Amino acid sequence: MKKFYDKLMQTRHYLHQHPELSGQEFETTAFLKGYLENLEIRILESGLKTGLVAEVGSGKPIIALRADIDALPILEQTGLPYASQNAGVMHACGHDFHQTSLLGAAELLKAMEGDLRGTVRLIFQPAEETSQGASQVLATGLLDDVSAIIGFHNMPQLKAGQLVLKAGAMMAGVEKFKVEVEGVSSHAARPDLGVDTVLTLTSMIQNLQALVARTVSPFEAAVLSVTHIEAGATWNVLPQSGFFEGTIRSFNPTLQQRLKEDFIRIVENTAENFGAQVRISWDHTPPVTYNDPELAELLYEHSRNLAEVLPANPSSAGEDFAFYQEKLPGVFAFIGSNGAENAPDLHHDSMVIDDEAFKVSVPYYVESALFLLQHYRQKV
């Protein structure tokens, strides 16, 4: 297998050198298409502008394997001989590793295609970093007949050879909010003639701080952070308008929805108290990445044959794999990709992947697919 893993290493290094931003993965898609066609793997008509869907095998059940392919607007500082050649763009989240892992799994599954009893659908998904890609794939209808979906994310804090998996929440649900306030401008010396936008904004922010601290159980995990505020342009004028934005995150889908509803109530009531107008907007962001309890327990035990399997602490980052899990059973794992002391984290300009991690990531895809094909055949 050394030749096989050396090939994957070279493939990842090439992809690392040629990163593309979300929705712009045209050359990446062309490379993936050519790679799969050389393996004589069927590529399905999807209508996707970037990314692609392919499959190995035939008939039901159908198990999907997903990898994301986009990069980040980060100037790479690793000093690697295969560092990004696209200035200001970097695979700082390891999606080069993810997609190469799926290419390796595709090759191994193709070699055993004659013995497959069912279909493995390969999802090379664009635009994960902007939380748009999973929804685009779902809109193709190519997951409508899929029984379950498998994915993973590399984790630099874990060593190559380690895998983390659990039932339930693996990554946080994410809400990104923007609150725009419209007051009435006036001279700073006569605030009584206006509606104070600054006071309204800061009162809203102050009131929101009690939302997690005083309404969420201490046995739950949640965070509300205001990260950006703007209002006014000079010292002696009350501004007419301003805004703040930030995020809400939790690991409980019911709690996440309740926090959003309470957020809206607090903001609107505060605006009414001051006589200001308010508009709240929410970005398209992922819900809780929530592993199907039955499948996660099964794959946790099954994966012990592949890696050192560790219990998971969920990540407070978000993942658009969660959109798939809203529609069908899914399992998402973390796979060790570095493990060195003080290893740079995801989205860091010096993040480095240990290619030894392929020896877990590729078997994780393949063995999970084979196991679930058998699992769903037995349920029919």
The string of pLDDT tens digits covering residues 272-294 is 999 999 999 999 999 999 999 99
Residue with tokens 């004028």: 237
Q: What is the pLDDT of residue 313?
A: 86
Task: Answer yes or no: are the C-beta atoms of 306 and 154 closer than 8 Å.
Answer: no
Ordered by start, the domain boundaries in the chain are 1-171+288-379, 173-282
Task: Answer yes or no: are the C-beta atoms of 65 and 43 closer than 8 Å.
Answer: no
Report the phi/psi class of residue 48: left, alpha or beta, with left for phi > 0 and alpha for psi in -120 to 50: beta
Q: What is the pLDDT of residue 379?
A: 75
pLDDT surpassing 80 at residue 168: yes
List, as residue ranges, the binding site for Mn(2+).
93, 95, 129, 153, 347
Q: What is the pLDDT of residue 378?
A: 86
Listed in sequence order, the residues at least 6 apart from 68 whose beta carbon sits closer than 8 Å to its beta carbon are 95, 98, 99, 125, 126, 128, 129, 133
User: Which whole-number Å values give the CA distances from 113 to 1, 34, 57, 142, 218, in the listed order?
Assistant: 19, 19, 5, 20, 50
Q: What is the pLDDT of residue 311?
A: 84
Q: What is the pLDDT of residue 95?
A: 98
Around Cβ 18, how many Cβ atoms within 10 Å? 17
The string of pLDDT tens digits covering residues 211-244 is 999 999 999 999 999 999 999 999 999 999 999 9
CATH fold of 1-171+288-379 reads Aminopeptidase (3.40.630)
pLDDT band at 200 (very low <50, low <70, confident <90, very high): very high
**Mean pLDDT along residues 126-152:** 98
Listed in sequence order, the residues at least 6 apart from 313 whose beta carbon sits closer than 8 Å to its beta carbon are none
CATH fold of 173-282 reads Alpha-Beta Plaits (3.30.70)
The two structure tokens encoding residue 72 = 């980040």
The string of pLDDT tens digits covering residues 339-354 is 999 999 999 999 999 9
The string of pLDDT tens digits covering residues 32-72 is 999 999 999 999 999 999 999 999 999 999 999 999 999 99
Q: What is the pLDDT of residue 380?
A: 64
pTM: 0.93
Q: What is the pLDDT of residue 1?
A: 86
pLDDT band at 2 (very low <50, low <70, confident <90, very high): very high
Structural element, H or E, at residue 124: strand 118-125
Q: What is the pLDDT of residue 157?
A: 95
